Structure 1
Amino acid sequence: MATLSTSAWVLHELGLAAGFGGPLFGRLALRQAVKDIHSEAERGKVLADAWQRYNLVNAISLGTAAATWFIGRTVISGRSIDRETRDLVRLKDILLGATLATSVASMMGGQQMREEAPDGGAPLLKEDEAPGPRWPARATARQRLLGVMGPLNIALTAGVIGVTTVLAMKSGRSAKWSLLSRLLP
């Protein structure tokens, strides 16, 4: 068994898992839990603090997933895979790039909101709440943008995981890949 390749694959999978699980938890559980906090500013502060703590984990996780994928791709020539697999590899490249872009945009947007807020947490709109006159227009626009980036990031990461699974299944059925993988470190 190729120890280095196997270790890279495990790190890749763990990176994708953390990059998917954290935002999914934030969207489905954390965001819903803070709705019980009546103060708008306090809701925003709790979320900002939680995301501030998770951003490092998310950056390392997705960075590791991307690094292992893109480094691994340089080792294998396109001649060793069929056209369908090449198309899946390109699709994964695009999805992973978009996942990284939406993650960085979300992290930067959240950090900017945190820095603009006087107490470190911008007021958080509830789903059915309209912004009032006390809300800065930039904070409202940024919050709406983050409201789109979060679900988009989750969907993109799910797409990367799905394509990764299909590629793994295809590699298990490929005699060429089976032979080539024995030569990997």
Structure 2
Amino acid sequence: MITNLLRQVAPWILRAAHDIGLAAWFGGAYFGAVSLNGASREVEDPTQRSRVANAGWFRWAAIVPVAIGAHLVGGVGLLAHQDHDDSGTERTVALLRAGVLGTAMLATLESGRLGRKVAAAGDVPVATAVRPIADTPAEVASCQRRLRVLQWVIPAATASLVVIDAWQSSRSGTRPAPREWLRGR
């Protein structure tokens, strides 16, 4: 009885971990790009702007690995529980999804690496977390220019994963309609 219950509940738990992990990953990256990085210009002293933005990003850095891990564990678990369609379309979409996921992961890692380099430079003058000014040291300015691109790559890639997942779910019927869920089917 308990084993049967676990078999029924496991896909839901895996789906939740997969979706919540991806939602957190997207949401944190999007918030940072739209709000946190730009808000750093509100700090009056240009030498403190990077410090303030980095404080926010370093708090997020403790959460993002958990979000990515939940997404990956949930995804692998779902693959193990689903019937596989070997059609050309499904294979193509799976390869596309793997490429987008790899892009999101690499961009996230590189963003963290560059952010640590900017933080290690100390209190240097900047316009915002991702925009240098004339007095910004060259190495920090270079990191900031790359971060300015990556701040949009991560939410674009993770949003693309949401779209791909929605398409795959609609095609595979992996999510029962709410009335079926309420009936316990």
Alignment gaps of 5+ in structure 2: 1-6, 175-185
SS in 2 for 1:47: helix
- The root-mean-square deviation of aligned C-alpha atoms, in Å, is 2.4
Q: Which runs of 4+ in 1 moved over 3 A?
A: 70-78
* Percent identity of equivalent pairs: 22
Report the equivalent of 1:157.
158
Deviation at 1:39, TM superposition (A): 1.1
User: Which runs of structure 2 are paired with 1:1-185 in the superposition (5 Å)?
Assistant: 2-73=8-79, 78=84, 80-117=85-122, 119=123, 122-126=124-128, 131-132=133-134, 134-172=135-173
Q: Deviations over 1:83-124 (max 9, x none)?
A: 21221111111111111110011111111211221x5xx543
Q: Calculate the TM-score normalised by the size of structure 1.
A: 0.81
Aligned amino acid, residue 91 of structure 1: L
Q: In structure 1, the residue corresponding to 2:126 is in which secondary structure?
A: coil
1:125 offset after TM fit, Å?
Answer: 2.5
| Deviation by residue 1:153-172 (Cα, 9 ceiling, x = unmatched) | 11111111100110011111
| Matched residue count | 168
Unaligned runs of 5+ in 1: 174-185
Change over 3 Å in CA distance of 1:112–1:16 after alignment to 2: same
1:32/1:131 Cα in 2 relative to 1: closer, same or farther (>3 Å)? closer
**Higher RCO, Cα 8 Å, sep 6+:** 1
Amino acid in the other structure paired with 1:38: E
TM-score by length of 2: 0.81
Report how far residue 19 of structure 1 moved.
0.5
CA distance in 1, matches of 2:70, 2:158: 14
8 Å contact from structure 1 (residues 66, 96) kept in 2: no
